[in-house]
Amino acid sequence: MIRKHFAGFAASALALAVSAQAFAGTVTTDGADLVIKTKGGLEVATTDKEFSFKLGGRLQADYSQFDGFYTADGGSQDAAYFRRAFLELSGTAYKDWKYLMSYDFAHNAGSSDDGYFDEASITYTGFKPVEIRFGRFDPIFGLEKATSSKWVTAPERNAVYDLMDWTNSHQNGMGIEVAGTYADSLLGAVTLSSKDNSDDNGQSTKQLNLRGVFAPMHEAGNVLHVGLNYAQRNADDEGYDGRFRSRMGMRGVATEGGTEANSGNRAAFGGFNNAAAGDFDKDIAWGVEAAWATGPFSLQGEYMQRTLEAGDNAGVTEDIDADGFYVQAAYTLTGEARGYKLGKFDAIKPQNKQTGAWEVFYRYDDFTVEDENTKGSLTQGVAIRELGEVDGKTHNLGVNWYVNEAVKLSATYVKVKTDGITNDAGDDDGDGFVVRGQYVF
């Protein structure tokens, strides 16, 4: 007999017992009955929805080849790696409490000191439609970040995000988020985070994120979505990383989880690392997002801006500014619409179980970084930039095959062009190709 209050936590053991000894007869409890699901992972829940337990995850195996600006010498290099290898444990306890633990065996999230957690959070849902989440999780900044990595269209999110990666990364810190919805069309979220190393006074870096979304049309194949984002954190501590870096859509130039390029170029388009106390003041970013979908066609884009304010030190006399945008169009050749949940896109579910769903897409990323400061070398690793304005442009053209609801195969061609920055060999353009196999359970 299994007591009701422990049904959710004993779910995995019970599921294994049921599968291994199906001949033993009917399983009963002294409380609510149990429902066991195996489609899309292992899930066990009580019928009164008081408790649940789900074991799932995702595996993304990538191979990429690239040249030109993407490498130090301009030659062709390749990389084979697990982009993500998540094992996820989630569920509900006492109806109003949800939990999620997601561990990345590819080591692209977290660190050896803090654990390779992509997320480890608890959410209280008893104040519907408001939810309170706390623990380790990424604050949301932008539509592509809100959309799960399982269902973003291109293999990598837009290149502008890289320039302000702190806005949507937990960086091994902790946070608390209050989010709510209204009338199935409005979403608002406030996140406070504490992350990075403490300063000399023992204070961690504090960060504020705000997000608001209005979606008067919010069904799959019928979407109209607009949103605003804002993020701010203090940047006056010693050792602050003030670099504006981007992989330009090619993760293989610098990654974990496998074999990266021998001399990949993750270029710094401005700023510098290991700042002295007082070099910078505040780091501020804001953005707008919009999306429209009708049937199998979807169009989305975001514009973002970041300002790293100069501090009191004489070595940094000017603010460092960056702004950029992306525009993406996608079309499902087999007629399926992209899923949508308030604030984010979701999966494409194939209608034909034999042929799956086929999607083609194009995305254009464009950004500019302006840094007039002389502090910090103009030679940044394997990239050399000019003083002042530096530009980057990226084209992504690809195809996704949703074989079924669990398997997705994709291939993407990426072309990059820069102005004001080159690799060591003087290249200001490059080409790359990425293929991915994904399994979700």
Peptide bond into 139 cis (omega under 30): no
Q: Is the per-residue pLDDT at 290 higher than 90? A: yes
- Tell me the pLDDT tens digit for each residue of 23-60: 445 556 667 888 898 887 888 989 888 999 999 999 99
Q: Is the per-residue pLDDT at 12 higher than 90? A: no
Alpha helices in 45-194 (DSSP H): 143-146, 159-163
Q: Is the per-residue pLDDT at 295 higher than 60? A: yes
Q: Backbone phi, then psi, for 168, in 5-degree steps?
A: -130, 40
C-alpha distance from residue 397 to each of 84, 152, 268, 285 (Å): 22, 14, 25, 28
The average pLDDT across 174-196 equals 95
pLDDT at 383: 84
User: How far is Cα 204 from Cα 192, in angstroms, rounded to an integer?
Assistant: 12
User: How far is Cα 52 from Cα 199, in angstroms, rounded to an integer?
Assistant: 41
As a whole number, the mean pLDDT across the chain is 90
Pairwise pLDDT comparison (38 vs 179), residue with the higher score? 179
Query: pTM for the complete prediction?
Result: 0.89
CB 319 within 8 A of CB 283: no
Among residues 360, 354, 215, the alpha carbon closest in space to that of 292 is found at 215
Sign of CA dihedral 311, 316, 319, 321: negative
DSSP label of 151: T
User: How far is Cα 96 from Cα 110, in angstroms, rounded to an integer?
Assistant: 28
Contacts of 127 (CB under 8 A, 6+ apart): none
pLDDT at 28: 63
238 pLDDT tier (thresholds 50, 70, 90) = confident
pLDDT at 32: 80
